[in-house]
Structure 1
Amino acid sequence: MKRILAFVILSVGSFAASANNWLEYAPGFNILSPAEKVKIAATAAIKDGRLTVALMDLTGRFCTNGSDYGPESAGAFSVNGKMVKFTVTCIAGIRALKPETENGKEYFTREITTKPTVVKMNYAQVLSFNSENFEATKKSMIDAESAM
């Protein structure tokens, strides 16, 4: 029991200390938490050499538990002051939000991986991200994808 408690304390401490860092959730899949204490995070993954950056919503407010649907239009969100159209997909009750157009995907990826980024989803939901050292994260994802 003491070992489990020590692991939890160390995990929470390291998470708080690295709030601006992309954390590896699984090989090739990383998560960046916003400054706000919400259950929405940015995700980055590489598949077939292509980087995909999206938002993952674990609040459960929009996708009923276990539901699957989409992609469909989620409307436009402000990303560092520019409007970007997003799509929404629910997978097993988790809401994934991705830019809809190629220009939107490139812009969103460039913003969130290189500078402080504010995403205004609506009047009440604003997310602030501050990515650090994304190049090391990207290299790690590429290495994981190309593993033997």
Structure 2
Amino acid sequence: MKKQRIKGIVLVVVCFICVLCICSGFYRVQSKELSEIPDAVNSTRFNTTEHLTVVANQEEIADKKELAKQIVKMCRENSFQSIKFSYDMVCPTELQINVYKTEKDFNDNRQFCEIAYSSEAENEEYDIIHNPEKFILYVDGEKVVY
């Protein structure tokens, strides 16, 4: 009788531990750590304007303008993880970027900000790679010193 009671207690404890392990593994999957490195998840080009959707991979963003500078730099350097641009034929003459904090925000359509990077004059001879000094950065319509 005593052995059966001990077996029963051991079984309950083992089951409880298994349930905890399964739940904690599920929690880790649900709350995966964010890399804090922006990544482009979508890109379309209309003429020479590049339209991007970028996920910042950050829950909290202290400075939109610094994030915008980082994203434009990543576009110029072609350093996004998921998307690589083909600049060998034509380089973009303008960037239009919709930014989301996290992938969940993207899926829920909760946009964080809009970035525009365009030249002062509408001159398609200037592009973001070879003439960055001719471009102005805007975050949510506000000009940013770059």
With the shorter chain as reference, the TM-score category is under 0.3
Give the alignment's TM-score, normalised by structure 2: 0.24
TM-score, with length taken from structure 1: 0.24
Greater share of helix residues, 1 or 2? 2
**The structure with more strand, counted as a fraction of residues:** 1
Task: Name which structure has the greater RCO, CA cutoff 8 Å, separation 6+.
Answer: 1
Larger Rg belongs to: 2
